[in-house]
Amino acid sequence: MSVFKNLSRRVRQPFHARYAFRRLQEYHAAPRSLAEVVDWAMHFGGGGWMRVKTLQLPSEITRLAEAVAAIKPRIILEIGTASGGTALIWAALASERVISCDLIDMSRQRPLFSRFPPPGSSCRVILLSGNSHDPSFRERVAGELAGYQVDFLFIDGDHTEAGVTADYEDYRGFVRPGGLIAFHDILENQPLPTNQVYHLWKRLKQRAPTEEFVTEGNQSGFGIGLLHVPEQGAPTVAGVPE
């Protein structure tokens, strides 16, 4: 981020924060259906560090949210917070905790994102900043879980083949048998050469029950893959050739 852009964000931060908290108050003013929660995640708006948005296709993220809601999750872990849109959705579904991890410092967003759970919910949103590939960061996640397993893991961080594979291998063991693991941008046709999730997804489909949520078969980018974790645990793919 340029010095000028960073300075501009700092100056505008109080205004962006007021707008974001006002929007959150509107969101919490009435009970929301799952469809409404997804719509809010996509159109919450805001600016600077206080912008909330999910970069998903509506039909794909809705189908994923429905699948996650069906297992009545207690704990959700996501790798890749970005603008917090998916965290808003997970906070409406988890009964206990949402642990959201990102490479960037999220201290400015924490006061807003921590208030994502709806009124009356016992869910807590925990933001962890750091490199998910760092063993010490994995230990921080383990510390937050305190021996408990997660019901759903959403991997939407490093999209390179090596990066997404590392995140899967490092965090799959935290997911309970019968739980779910999802990946974003699974389609082979991607607008960015660094979006390489397809290569991991192709291997995983051979090793566990999966579903794909894709709006159009010939679309460029997007696509969500959902892996149903077997009773013996999520399968390894490390060292498996194409």
For 202, the token pair is 């192709």
Residue 1's pLDDT is 52
Q: Please indicate, yes or no, if residue 48 is contained in any of the structural domains.
A: yes
Residue 8's pLDDT is 76
- Provide the residue range defining the domain that includes 45: 3-228
Residue 12's pLDDT is 87
Q: In whole angstroms, how far apart are CA 204 and each of 33, 55, 167, 217, 234?
A: 32, 24, 14, 20, 9
For 12, the token pair is 């505008």
Residue 4's pLDDT is 63
Q: Please indicate, yes or no, if residue 241 is contained in any of the structural domains.
A: no
Q: Please indicate, yes or no, if residue 237 is contained in any of the structural domains.
A: no
DSSP output for 121-171: ---EEEEEES-TTSHHHHHHHHHHHTTPPEEEEEE-S--SHHHHHHHHHHH
Q: Going by C-beta distance under 8 Å and a sequence separation of 6 or more, which residues neighbour residue 217?
A: none
What CATH number does the domain containing 182 carry?
A: 3.40.50.150
Residue 241's pLDDT is 41
Q: In whole angstroms, how far apart are CA 66 and each of 93, 126, 184, 213?
A: 10, 22, 16, 11
pLDDT digits (tens, 9 = 90+) for 144-169: 999 999 999 999 999 999 999 999 99
Residue 6's pLDDT is 75
Could you tell me which residues are beta bridge partners of residue 98?
A: 76, 125
Q: In whole angstroms, how far apart are CA 88 and each of 32, 102, 116, 150, 192?
A: 12, 15, 6, 17, 26
Q: Please indicate, yes or no, if residue 102 is contained in any of the structural domains.
A: yes
Give every residue of the chain whose pLDDT is below 70, as ranges.
1-4, 238-242
- How many structural domains compose the chain? 1
- The region, left, alpha or beta by phi > 0 then psi within -120 to 50, assigned to residue 131 is beta
Residue 185 amino acid letter: D
Q: Please indicate, yes or no, if residue 214 is contained in any of the structural domains.
A: yes
Q: Please indicate, yes or no, if residue 157 is contained in any of the structural domains.
A: yes
Q: Please indicate, yes or no, if residue 234 is contained in any of the structural domains.
A: no
Q: Please indicate, yes or no, if residue 242 is contained in any of the structural domains.
A: no
